[in-house]
Amino acid sequence: MSFHPHTSSFNGVQGAGALDVSLGPQHPSTHGVFRMNVRMEGETITKLQPVFGYLHRNHEKIAEANSWLGSMPYTDRLDYICPITNNWAYARAVEQLAGIEVPERAEYIRVIVGELTRLQNHTVFLGFILADMGAWGSALMYAFREREKILDLFEWLTGARMMVNYMRFGGVRCDLPVGWLEKARAYVETYPAFLDEMERLLTGNEILLARLQGVGILSGERAINGGLSGPVLRASGVDYDIRKVDAYGVYPRLSFRIPRGTVGDCYDRFMIRLLEARESIRILQQAFAQIPAGPTLNPAVKQRGFKPPAGEAYGRIEGPKGELGFHLISQGGEKPYRYHVRPPSLINLTLLEEMCLGTKIADVMVILGSIDIVLGEVDR
């Protein structure tokens, strides 16, 4: 540890001093309790160290003490903006570990709720990045208004707005209520109009362009080496979407495109969310048209006292924030021997320093906002 922010101060040389600042943990633009130790020359960043652990609760240790099913509600609390995709990733990892088949209808329901989650995550992102740039208000409120409508759908389906606890090994907990599908379909129909409104509000705005374009540029090669995933990786021009690559669930039957950035700056990371939201709408419309009748849970799987065979598996899905994976080791017992989460929010921060070096202090918040993290997942 050579970097002590509380001991260093100005060098005393006029105009050429280094200043160490602790950004966060209590700051609205740090999306929770995230801290960065920053060294600046003037306003230019010369060193940046993220500090983690303020929200650490040893999720993995808790899971080792719980039954396999008992960890499902805890996954809701990882990335609390998108609990359903967390459920999905865990269910998929367990299904790989135990070799469980999922009924077709359940796969379609998973795609529908998963893509709705992606929609609301990207919508909230649009609001938050504006807040990071200092535009508290309109954009964030419009985004939350739309998210509220999706959360209403989730509440109707699962009983809770955010802590859904919806997926089960080999399916989903309950079938769609009568009338849910029609309501969801009608709602998704209105969504492009909202995205158009957001685009009119934001994408032409000169201040926004000045704040985003050319800031925090990241090459595709570095992004791959740094393990970045999801929209952040694709914004750097890498064509890698796990929905296409792993072709899990019923995604091979749905046609959609993978938007990619060209520059890899904050503007690309911003635009890619808008484009992905539009692709999600396409996926949803196809899924609404194709969803078959049938069972929603594999009856052969015993949820209580579930004991997968001994062995290990790494299962992953394309979450709204990136690759969400679970590494599970079973020794044939009622509890996992090892339960590890691969959190996209944490690993997407690997290259934060590289992106921030040489930029101004005000850009750090925008770059952090463009990565889209949730601290519940970073610190676990």
* 50-69 binders of other proteins (CB under 8 A): 52-53, 56, 58, 60-61, 64, 66-67, 69
Phi, psi of 184 (to 5 degrees): -65, -40
Residue recorded with tokens 């609990």: 83
- Please pick, from the candidates 138, 189, 192, 358, the single residue that binds other proteins as defined by CB under 8 A: 138
Residues 196-225 touching other proteins, rule: CB under 8 A, are: 197, 200-209, 222, 224-225
Q: How far is the CB of 272 from other proteins (least distance, A)?
A: 17
Residue 116 CB, shortest distance to other proteins, in Å, is 16
In three-state secondary structure terms, 181 is: helix
151-170 binders of other proteins (CB under 8 A): 152, 155-160, 163, 165
Burial of 34 (0-12, 13-18, 19+ CB in 10 A): buried
List the interface residues with other proteins, window 227-256 (CB under 8 A): 227-229, 238, 240, 245-247
Please report whether residue 277 would count as binding other proteins according to CB under 8 A. no
Contact letters for other proteins, residues 335-354 (x by CB under 8 A): ---x-x-x---xx-xxx---
Residue type (1 letter), 201 = L
Closest separation in Å from C-beta 10 to other proteins: 26
97 binds other proteins (CB under 8 A): yes
By CB under 8 A, the count of residues binding other proteins is 85
CA distances for 128 relative to 32, 137, 155, angstroms? 12, 10, 23
Sign of dihedral through CA atoms 353, 357, 363, 366?
negative
CB of 183 to other proteins, least distance (A): 11
Among 142, 169, 251, 256, binds other proteins (CB under 8 A): 142
The yes or no reply on residue 192 touching other proteins (CB under 8 A) is: no
Under rule CB under 8 A, residue 310 binds other proteins: yes
What is the amino acid identity at position 48?
Answer: L
Q: Applying CB under 8 A, which of residues 74, 90, 169, 267 lies at the interface with other proteins?
A: 74
Residue with tokens 């610190």: 379
Q: How far is CA 273 from CA 146, 153, 261, 322, 371, in A?
A: 15, 22, 11, 12, 11
Tokens of 278: 């539009």
> Of 255, 244, 260, nearest to 283 (Cα)?
255
8 Å CB contact between 188 and 281? yes
Give the shortest CB-142-to-other proteins separation in angstroms: 7
Residue 112 is a binding residue for other proteins (CB under 8 A): no
Q: Which is nearer to other proteins, 118 or 316 (CB)?
A: 316
Measured between alpha carbons, how far is 36 from 45 in angstroms, rounded to an integer? Answer: 12
Nearer to other proteins, 31 or 380 (CB): 380
Q: Does 300 bind other proteins (CB under 8 A)?
A: no
Q: Which stretch binds other proteins (CB under 8 A): 79-87, 103-111, 263-271, 319-327?
A: 319-327
Q: How far is the CB of 175 from other proteins (least distance, A)?
A: 11
CB 64 within 8 A of CB 339: yes
Q: How far is the CB of 42 from other proteins (least distance, A)?
A: 25
Across the strands, what pairs with 327?
A: 314, 340
Q: Report the chain's C-alpha Rg in angstroms.
A: 21
d(CA 341, CA 60): 8
Q: Of these, 42, 99, 134, 294, which contacts other proteins (CB under 8 A)?
A: 99
